[in-house]
Amino acid sequence: MIAKEDRQRMANDIGVAQASGARLAPACRLAGIDVRTLQRWKAVDGVERGDQRPHAIHPRPAHALSDAEQAQILSIANEPRFAALPPAQIVPILADEGRYIASESSFHRVLRAHQQTTHRGRAKAPTAARVPTTHVATAPGQVWCWDVTWLASHVTGRWFYLYLILDLYSLNRPGNPGDSLV
Protein backbone atom coordinates (compact mmCIF):
# COMPACT_ATOMS: atom_id res chain seq x y z
CA MET A 1 0.00 0.00 0.00
CA ILE A 2 1.29 3.41 -0.91
CA ALA A 3 0.31 6.36 1.27
CA LYS A 4 -1.73 9.19 -0.27
CA GLU A 5 1.12 11.71 0.00
CA ASP A 6 3.53 9.30 -1.70
CA ARG A 7 1.02 8.63 -4.48
CA GLN A 8 0.61 12.36 -5.08
CA ARG A 9 4.37 12.93 -5.09
CA MET A 10 4.96 10.02 -7.51
CA ALA A 11 2.19 11.09 -9.88
CA ASN A 12 3.50 14.66 -9.83
CA ASP A 13 7.14 13.58 -10.43
CA ILE A 14 6.11 11.27 -13.27
CA GLY A 15 4.04 14.09 -14.80
CA VAL A 16 7.03 16.47 -14.59
CA ALA A 17 9.27 13.83 -16.16
CA GLN A 18 6.79 13.31 -18.99
CA ALA A 19 6.53 17.05 -19.58
CA SER A 20 10.32 17.14 -19.86
CA GLY A 21 10.23 14.49 -22.59
CA ALA A 22 10.57 11.22 -20.66
CA ARG A 23 8.53 8.23 -21.71
CA LEU A 24 5.82 7.03 -19.33
CA ALA A 25 6.93 3.38 -18.90
CA PRO A 26 10.57 4.11 -17.94
CA ALA A 27 9.45 6.92 -15.58
CA CYS A 28 6.99 4.58 -13.82
CA ARG A 29 9.60 1.82 -13.64
CA LEU A 30 12.06 4.26 -12.04
CA ALA A 31 9.37 5.24 -9.50
CA GLY A 32 8.79 1.57 -8.72
CA ILE A 33 5.22 1.27 -9.98
CA ASP A 34 3.57 -0.15 -13.08
CA VAL A 35 2.10 2.06 -15.77
CA ARG A 36 -1.27 0.41 -15.18
CA THR A 37 -1.10 1.38 -11.49
CA LEU A 38 -0.67 5.05 -12.38
CA GLN A 39 -3.54 4.84 -14.88
CA ARG A 40 -5.80 3.25 -12.25
CA TRP A 41 -4.92 5.93 -9.70
CA LYS A 42 -5.87 8.67 -12.15
CA ALA A 43 -9.05 6.91 -13.36
CA VAL A 44 -10.64 6.43 -9.92
CA ASP A 45 -9.24 9.60 -8.35
CA GLY A 46 -6.85 7.44 -6.31
CA VAL A 47 -4.20 10.14 -6.37
CA GLU A 48 -6.43 12.48 -4.36
CA ARG A 49 -8.28 9.98 -2.15
CA GLY A 50 -5.48 7.51 -1.44
CA ASP A 51 -5.92 3.82 -0.78
CA GLN A 52 -9.34 3.04 0.68
CA ARG A 53 -8.69 -0.66 1.48
CA PRO A 54 -7.97 -0.07 5.20
CA HIS A 55 -11.37 1.60 5.54
CA ALA A 56 -13.34 -1.12 3.74
CA ILE A 57 -16.13 -2.86 5.63
CA HIS A 58 -15.76 -6.63 5.43
CA PRO A 59 -18.95 -8.61 6.03
CA ARG A 60 -18.83 -11.64 8.32
CA PRO A 61 -18.53 -14.85 6.25
CA ALA A 62 -21.72 -16.89 6.06
CA HIS A 63 -19.95 -20.05 7.23
CA ALA A 64 -18.32 -18.41 10.28
CA LEU A 65 -19.06 -19.96 13.67
CA SER A 66 -21.82 -18.18 15.56
CA ASP A 67 -21.29 -16.87 19.07
CA ALA A 68 -23.35 -19.76 20.45
CA GLU A 69 -21.18 -22.31 18.61
CA GLN A 70 -18.01 -20.66 19.90
CA ALA A 71 -19.40 -20.70 23.45
CA GLN A 72 -20.21 -24.40 23.05
CA ILE A 73 -16.62 -25.11 21.91
CA LEU A 74 -15.26 -23.21 24.92
CA SER A 75 -17.53 -24.97 27.38
CA ILE A 76 -16.58 -28.41 26.01
CA ALA A 77 -12.86 -27.61 25.93
CA ASN A 78 -13.02 -26.41 29.54
CA GLU A 79 -14.90 -29.44 30.88
CA PRO A 80 -12.80 -31.22 33.53
CA ARG A 81 -12.23 -34.28 31.34
CA PHE A 82 -10.98 -32.17 28.42
CA ALA A 83 -9.22 -29.36 30.31
CA ALA A 84 -5.78 -30.97 29.99
CA LEU A 85 -6.23 -32.18 26.40
CA PRO A 86 -5.40 -30.43 23.14
CA PRO A 87 -8.00 -30.21 20.34
CA ALA A 88 -6.21 -33.04 18.50
CA GLN A 89 -7.42 -35.36 21.28
CA ILE A 90 -10.75 -33.68 22.10
CA VAL A 91 -12.25 -33.97 18.61
CA PRO A 92 -11.60 -37.75 18.21
CA ILE A 93 -13.02 -38.46 21.70
CA LEU A 94 -16.18 -36.55 20.79
CA ALA A 95 -16.34 -38.42 17.47
CA ASP A 96 -16.15 -41.75 19.33
CA GLU A 97 -19.15 -40.58 21.36
CA GLY A 98 -21.00 -39.71 18.14
CA ARG A 99 -20.82 -35.94 18.67
CA TYR A 100 -19.46 -33.49 16.13
CA ILE A 101 -19.12 -29.96 17.45
CA ALA A 102 -16.48 -28.48 15.13
CA SER A 103 -13.28 -29.41 13.35
CA GLU A 104 -9.94 -29.55 15.09
CA SER A 105 -8.82 -26.35 13.38
CA SER A 106 -12.01 -24.58 14.54
CA PHE A 107 -11.27 -25.69 18.11
CA HIS A 108 -7.75 -24.29 17.74
CA ARG A 109 -9.04 -21.03 16.28
CA VAL A 110 -11.64 -20.47 19.02
CA LEU A 111 -9.23 -21.38 21.83
CA ARG A 112 -6.56 -19.09 20.36
CA ALA A 113 -9.06 -16.22 20.12
CA HIS A 114 -9.81 -16.63 23.85
CA GLN A 115 -6.12 -17.09 24.86
CA GLN A 116 -6.66 -20.69 25.99
CA THR A 117 -4.16 -22.49 23.78
CA THR A 118 -1.00 -22.04 25.81
CA HIS A 119 -0.12 -25.14 27.80
CA ARG A 120 -3.50 -26.62 28.55
CA GLY A 121 -3.72 -28.65 31.74
CA ARG A 122 -0.58 -29.60 33.63
CA ALA A 123 1.77 -28.90 30.73
CA LYS A 124 4.52 -26.46 31.60
CA ALA A 125 5.90 -23.69 29.45
CA PRO A 126 9.26 -24.56 27.91
CA THR A 127 12.21 -23.09 29.74
CA ALA A 128 15.35 -21.87 28.09
CA ALA A 129 18.32 -24.13 28.58
CA ARG A 130 21.07 -22.73 30.75
CA VAL A 131 24.14 -21.69 28.79
CA PRO A 132 27.01 -24.01 29.69
CA THR A 133 29.68 -22.32 31.74
CA THR A 134 33.30 -22.30 30.69
CA HIS A 135 35.95 -22.77 33.33
CA VAL A 136 39.45 -21.36 32.97
CA ALA A 137 42.26 -22.31 35.29
CA THR A 138 45.14 -19.84 35.63
CA ALA A 139 46.95 -21.75 38.36
CA PRO A 140 47.09 -25.34 39.67
CA GLY A 141 44.31 -26.48 41.97
CA GLN A 142 41.62 -24.01 40.78
CA VAL A 143 39.47 -26.27 38.58
CA TRP A 144 39.22 -30.04 38.86
CA CYS A 145 37.62 -32.39 36.31
CA TRP A 146 36.32 -35.84 37.16
CA ASP A 147 34.68 -38.82 35.53
CA VAL A 148 33.65 -42.32 36.50
CA THR A 149 33.43 -45.16 34.01
CA TRP A 150 33.19 -48.94 33.97
CA LEU A 151 35.99 -51.05 32.54
CA ALA A 152 35.39 -54.64 31.51
CA SER A 153 37.50 -57.37 33.07
CA HIS A 154 38.52 -60.77 31.70
CA VAL A 155 35.75 -62.35 33.77
CA THR A 156 32.29 -62.11 32.24
CA GLY A 157 29.97 -59.94 34.32
CA ARG A 158 32.79 -58.33 36.31
CA TRP A 159 33.60 -54.64 35.92
CA PHE A 160 36.18 -52.29 37.31
CA TYR A 161 35.27 -48.72 38.22
CA LEU A 162 37.72 -46.11 36.99
CA TYR A 163 37.56 -42.89 38.98
CA LEU A 164 39.54 -40.19 37.19
CA ILE A 165 40.24 -36.80 38.77
CA LEU A 166 42.36 -34.30 36.84
CA ASP A 167 43.52 -30.76 37.43
CA LEU A 168 42.39 -28.61 34.49
CA TYR A 169 45.49 -26.44 34.72
CA SER A 170 47.79 -29.43 34.27
CA LEU A 171 45.87 -30.46 31.14
CA ASN A 172 46.45 -27.10 29.45
CA ARG A 173 50.20 -26.75 30.04
CA PRO A 174 52.34 -27.29 26.93
CA GLY A 175 54.44 -30.41 26.95
CA ASN A 176 52.29 -32.06 29.62
CA PRO A 177 52.20 -35.86 29.36
CA GLY A 178 48.46 -35.61 30.02
CA ASP A 179 47.95 -33.83 26.66
CA SER A 180 47.15 -37.13 25.02
CA LEU A 181 44.13 -37.51 27.36
CA VAL A 182 42.46 -34.36 26.09
Same domain, 74 and 48: no
Report whether pLDDT(182) > 60.
no
Q: pLDDT by residue (tens digit) across 1-14? A: 777 788 888 888 99
Residue 138 domain flag: no
Other residues' Cβ atoms within 10 Å of the Cβ of residue 7? 21
Pair 73, 105 in one domain: yes
pLDDT higher than threshold 70 for residue 45: yes
Q: What range does the domain containing 157 cover?
A: 144-181
49 lies in the same domain as 11:
yes
Query: Would residue 90 count as lying in a domain?
Result: yes
Number of domains the chain contains: 3
Characterize 92-107 residue by residue with b for buried, 16 or more Cβ atoms within 10 angstroms of its Cβ, and e for exposed. eebeeeeeebbeeebb
Identity of the amino acid at 94: L
pTM (2 d.p.): 0.43
pLDDT in tens, 139-154: 888 888 899 999 999 9
List the alpha helices (DSSP H) in the chain: 4-19, 24-31, 35-43, 46-49, 67-77, 87-96, 104-113, 168-172
